[in-house]
């Protein structure tokens, strides 16, 4: 069993999309804990709504590459538009930050809201 922490972000109907995503995740994986959520200003493209960011700790039987693909499929299921610019608006953004106690995404060190929500559920 692998344990990971996934960063969650949304600025298109964030409460609705995060709620839906967590519902699907709980049906398909073992959700251990969900962090509180923080409103943040957009990075890069500033002319868009603020984001709602949080994190979720998950136990999964999937290996890391398969779990990454699973998260992409979950984003697609919720309507993620991959034609939008990198820092553009999104209905859901899911990124593995911690995999089996190892921080694997440098955004953890660069964005305080990721540190705060991840550390809350470590």
- Residue positions annotated with a catalytic role: 80, 90, 93, 95
Q: Give the H or E element holding residue 99.
A: strand 93-99
Where does residue 81 fall: left (phi above 0), alpha (psi -120 to 50 degrees), or beta otherwise? beta
CA 72 from centre of chain: 11
- Measured distance CA(45)–CA(37) in Å, rounded: 21
């Amino acid at each position: 069993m692998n344990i990971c922490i996934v960063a969650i972000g949304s600025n298109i109907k964030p409460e609705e999309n995060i709620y839906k995503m967590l519902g699907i995740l709980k049906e398909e994986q073992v959700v251990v804990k969900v962090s509180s959520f923080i409103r943040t200003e957009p990075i890069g493209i500033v002319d868009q709504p603020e984001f709602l960011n949080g994190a979720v700790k998950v136990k999964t039987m999937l290996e890391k590459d398969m779990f990454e693909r699973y998260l992409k499929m979950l984003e697609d299921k919720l309507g993620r538009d991959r034609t939008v610019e990198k820092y553009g608006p999104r209905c859901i953004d899911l990124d593995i930050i911690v995999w089996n106690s190892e921080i694997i995404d440098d955004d953890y060190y660069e964005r305080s809201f990721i540190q705060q929500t991840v550390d809350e559920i470590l």
